[in-house]
Amino acid sequence: IETQAGDVSAYIPTNVISITDGQIFLGTDMFYSGIRPAVDVGLSVSRVGGSAQTKAMKQVAGQLRLDLAQYRELAAFAQFGSDLDAATKAQLDRGERLTEMLKQGQYEPMSVAEMVINLYAGTKGYLA
């Protein structure tokens, strides 16, 4: 369903959320900034969750979710200041690389094995 101004707390979105096994929330701001698929992991929920994932995917996805959440929080604060220390700059750079890694072209599916390898490389710092 489409929300009004991204408000998922309205009557219809709340009811749909309560009767489904989860939802994927697509963010328009992410979409227009070139992130596709524009999945907002902070608002997306799955009741099935890890039980629908392979063991390898579970192992890499948890760390990725944490890394991206920290990056987005840090990026939100960093936009207000230009005096960033080296560690903060490195974490922002890593978050940008992880975000770029997740971008996927239309009609360009990836196998689970490819996804796991890419996610492992990204979360372990092997991306240049």
* pLDDT reported for residue 39: 86
Q: Are 26 and 59 within one domain?
A: no
| 65 part of the active site | no
Query: Model pTM greater than 0.85?
Result: no
CB 59 within 8 A of CB 117: no
Domain span holding position 44: 1-52
Model pLDDT, residue 16 = 81
Residues 64, 111, single domain; the answer is yes
Contact 116, 57 (CB under 8 A): yes
Residue 1 has pLDDT above 80, yes or no: no
Q: Tell me how far apart the alpha carbons of residues 95 and 82 are, in angstroms, rounded to a whole number.
A: 17
Active-site pick, 47, 65, 72, 94: 47
Name the domain count of the chain: 2
Do both 124 and 100 map to the same domain? yes
Residues 64 and 122 in one domain: yes
Note whether 15 and 43 are same-domain residues. yes
pLDDT in tens, 60-108: 988 898 898 899 889 888 888 778 889 999 999 999 999 999 898 889 9
Same domain, 65 and 105: yes
Q: What pLDDT shows up at residue 81?
A: 75
Q: What is the pLDDT of residues 8-50, one digit of tens each?
A: 788 888 888 788 887 888 888 889 988 888 888 878 887 777 7
Q: Are residues 59 and 111 in the same domain?
A: yes
Q: Are residues 45 and 59 in the same domain?
A: no
User: What span, in angstroms and rounded, lies between the C-alpha atoms of 94 and 77?
Assistant: 16
Q: Are residues 42 and 60 in the same domain?
A: no
The whole-number pLDDT of residue 44 equals 82
* Amino acid present at 19: I
